[in-house]
Structure 1
């Protein structure tokens, strides 16, 4: 029966990922329907905590976007990328990483991909190199950003004071080292652009050749009046969340009692409460001070993406947690021994689930409680955390497709066998190194 139920779980995830958008969520609820009414499984609680965090964080990021703050950040990143085009394979991914680390979303990379492609092509550096590792950098930044839903989900799962600081302290330096090694892995990837037969053929077109020589540098973008102010407010929100995580004694506490979504059993505020209140207060401050209308916020592309993310997490996590809970004895018996002796092997399971789920937050909420049930310490779970970024393996994620489309030279592509695309080598290398460094840091820092 276990394997039939497991086949249903995988089937719903695979069908949902092909449908894209809210497909993962609705197919997750189809799977839950089958689990409850056909297999008689007892449903777990829905992932309300992660859904609230996604709503709060994405609304605040959308407010930053509507007020012009994201445009301002992108303009700064563009100046950095254009400042040293010869080293774009290293400069671009680190610029993307720190920008996404600050903003808590990978979607900001869309604005930088055409710049990376253009600058590298004009320098005759194969665009595949900086584009592929920059996309990986945008994903890797989410596992460590205090403003990402994935990091917030892990904080909720770990459920101990100081978890956010531990995650940042281990995952950020581990990811930076992993990203650096990932840059070296693509530094000489493929033939040089001026020797690429596809590019040579494209250059025979006079229009294309002229566009490769045209100077589009330093195109001035008109920023909104409150752009810089919104970035300052957003920064203050990040600082407040980190302080609350690092110094819980500064946060109000109440009488111990029954654990709720808002208050822990010891009377302290949960991170769901802290993140929701701080981020949405910052969103309100941005709207009031910069005179950004609520209509502009709801029209922002980030805000529109929130509905898809919430529905996806709602369905697929609820289905997966119900399956895991109903089969916990079988799973722990099968994995308990090897995971206890070799904690890093759990990273393989997390990586595989991340490939299927296309969501770092959903993968975190689904797999990390299983890691706790298997007896893994917090330091190991934090070290393994970057494995949730495996959504690049199947080339259907929007950031990958955008990078392929923005590369007019044709060097960034999907291979004949689908999975042999431009992003797999840098992705596996960067994440693998980040996990190894994370385990090393965990032994010294925790």
Structure 2
């Protein structure tokens, strides 16, 4: 390892550390700072073409549509439905909480929808005398892993486009990723329920906060009046998601032949952006909301913050990866071919630094495809990528992701906390387990479908 590589790694990690300290949108800003230092000081090639613009555009389109639905009351309506599910069997909150956040992410294509569920999970857990940290940690992890199974997420749209030329179609990939990731989360919930001390009253931090009057009493179910506009906005959004799935399936190829549409004029990326913006327009018109107020919604603010973070951090990571493609190819060819599961480890560590499932997939996958000698005529190693995809969800490792921090801040019992050693937080073990099970199931599923 030469001195220049060492300096480049220091800049990469240093920029990420500064971003963590700044928090929020500052992570994206620090990424830009790191890019400048890598380019001007350390001589690496820098180009704005390295920014995953397609990923950013999809995130912005989906978030803008969900924001319109939120303004129309649709998101509150979905949360109310989810709350009823949680309260219907509160003793099983460790399973129901991640199920709800997983399904919301599958539908919306963003894990930020978990924000709306965190207060509900805390309330139901307190009512049952269960430490909120247990269902919260699994639920937040599930909302991140579900990104790799959502038909409208930027990560899935990119990966299906990258893998389809090698014989893995959009519907087949969803048929693998959805059950493997969901079952992985449920197995994790089962294990954490078995090994965790769920008794809220036994937690010393909770006792201290309760004595100090810092813990609010459970409020019970919150019944809100649901307007016609709220229901209509949800219906329009669901129809939009269904149209995306149907169109993406129609232009996919199975066995080298198109499912339905042969002469594709609108590719998958363009379709999802166009459909989401169209749905947003219909929500504004039919639900009679003011478009000028959409940027004021919480979903819009958090989503656009995420987009800037992707621009900065993904750009930083891509610049570094592009400068060391040959070394990465050599390592991938030697290690991953020997032990296929190591690709999941590569995705895992890249994701914890790049802060985005889609950005991680786009930075690492093309290099791995070349390193493994994958071509249209030799697709024998593609299964490794398909099976390992869930590992790009390791955004929980560093306790800086918005939904993770939101869970810590909103749990007034103090059971969901970050340890003094940074990595010893409530989300680490559930996250590692969920990814490990999802990847293991992925290898099993690819053996069947392959």
Q: Same fold (TM over 0.5)?
A: yes
Structure 1 vs Structure 2 CA RMSD: 2.4
Alpha-carbon offset, residue 28 of structure 1 = 2.7
Distance change >3 Å, CA 384–CA 16, structure 1 → 2: same
Alpha-carbon offset, residue 191 of structure 1 = 5.8
Instruction: Tell me the alpha carbon deviations over residues 42-91 of structure 1, each in whole angstroms, 9 at most, x when there is no partner.
Output: 44523221122112111111111111111111000000001111111112
TM-score normalised by L of structure 2: 0.88
Alpha-carbon offset, residue 26 of structure 1 = 2.9
2:353 match: secondary structure: helix
Distance change >3 Å, CA 306–CA 192, structure 1 → 2: closer
The answer to whether the 8 Å contact 1:42/1:322 transfers is yes
Counterpart selection for 1:220 from 212, 219, 223: 223
The answer to whether the 8 Å contact 2:210/2:413 transfers is no
Q: How does 1:151-162 map to 2 (within 5 A)?
A: 151-158=156-163, 160=165
Instruction: Tell me the alpha carbon deviations over residues 182-201 of structure 1, each in whole angstroms, 9 at most, x when there is no partner.
Output: 11222141362233333344
Say whether 1:168 aligns with 2:174.
Answer: yes
Corresponding pairs, count:
430
Q: Distance in 2 between matches of 1:159 and 1:310?
A: 26
2:269 match: secondary structure: helix
TM-score normalised by L of structure 1: 0.89
Counterpart selection for 2:322 from 305, 321, 325: 325
Q: Which runs of 5+ in 2 are unaligned?
A: 252-257, 375-380
Alpha-carbon offset, residue 330 of structure 1 = 2.0
The answer to whether the 8 Å contact 1:104/1:142 transfers is yes
Say whether 1:388 aligns with 2:392.
Answer: yes
- Greater mean deviation of Cα atoms: 37-46 or 392-401: 37-46
Instruction: Tell me the alpha carbon deviations over residues 95-143 of structure 1, each in whole angstroms, 9 at most, x when there is no partner.
Output: 2211221122222222221221121222112222111111111111111
Q: How does 1:419-438 map to 2 (within 5 A)?
A: 419-438=423-442
Say whether 1:444 aligns with 2:448.
Answer: yes
Q: Distance in 2 between matches of 1:378 and 1:303?
A: 36
- Greater mean deviation of Cα atoms: 7-16 or 170-179: 7-16
Q: Distance in 1 between matches of 2:34 and 2:207?
A: 50
Q: Distance in 2 between matches of 1:106 and 1:402?
A: 12
Counterpart selection for 1:199 from 197, 206, 210: 206
- Greater mean deviation of Cα atoms: 229-238 or 76-85: 229-238
Q: Distance in 2 between matches of 1:9 and 1:418?
A: 19
Q: Which runs of 5+ in 1 are unaligned?
A: 255-266
1:392 match: secondary structure: coil
The answer to whether the 8 Å contact 2:119/2:411 transfers is yes
Alpha-carbon offset, residue 208 of structure 1 = 6.6
Alpha-carbon offset, residue 203 of structure 1 = 4.7
Distance change >3 Å, CA 416–CA 322, structure 1 → 2: closer
Q: How does 1:274-285 map to 2 (within 5 A)?
A: 274-285=271-282
